[in-house]
Amino acid sequence: MASLPPRPVRDSQVERAEIVLPNDANPLGNILGGRVMHLIDITAAIAAQRHSRRQVVTASIDEVDFHHPITVGQLIILKASVNFAGRTSMEIGVKVFSEDILTGEQQHTSSAYLTFVALDDHGRPTPVPGVIPETPDEQRRERDAQQRRERRLKRVKGT
C-alpha cells in the first residue's frame, strides 16, 4: 500500500465559538465541565477528520484542567489542530478560551490532548498522513506530542 502524502498542520485547524447559555451552566452560572469536554471532543474530531479525511474515533483523552470558569453570556472558543500522526492515530491539541463579548477580552481556560484513530470503510484502523510542522511552534508541539505518545504507550503496556 502506498504511503499517504503528509499534510501541513494548517489543513487540520479548527476554530469554533459558542455562546454559553443557561442550559449549559451549573447553579453558579459557569459552564459545566462535561459540556466543555463534549465540545473539546467534537472540535478535536473535526481536526482529526480534516487531517485524515476519514471517520475517526476517540482513543484517549489526556487530563483536562479547568483554570478559569466560563460564565453564562460569554463565548467559549475552541481551537484545535493535529500535533502528531502515527500510523493510524493522531494527537490533536485543543485550547479553550473564554471571551467577554462586550470587551473582546479572552482568557485561556483549559487545554487537552486527544488521540484519535482513523477508520476504513469497514470500521478498522487505517493509515493516516504524516504531519508537516511548518512553524517553530508546530515543530515544538510535534516533539512534545511524540513524548506524550511514548508515555501513553508505556502506560498501556504497564511498564
Give pLDDT tens digits for 109-134: 999 999 999 999 999 999 999 999 99
Task: Output the CA–CA distances (angstroms, integers) from residue 158 to 151, 152, 153, 155, in the order listed.
Answer: 10, 10, 8, 5
What pLDDT shows up at residue 158? Answer: 77
- H/E segment holding residue 145: helix 136-157
What pLDDT shows up at residue 159? Answer: 60
pTM of the model: 0.92
What pLDDT shows up at residue 1? Answer: 46
**The domain 7-157: what is its CATH number?**
3.10.129.10
Residues making up the chain, counted from first to last:
159
The residue ranges of DSSP E strands in 1-159, in sequence order, are 7-8, 14-19, 55-61, 75-85, 89-99, 106-119, 131-132
User: Which residue positions in the chain have pLDDT lower than 50?
Assistant: 1
The grid coordinates of residue 49 equal: 477528520
The label of the residue with cell 511548518 reads 134
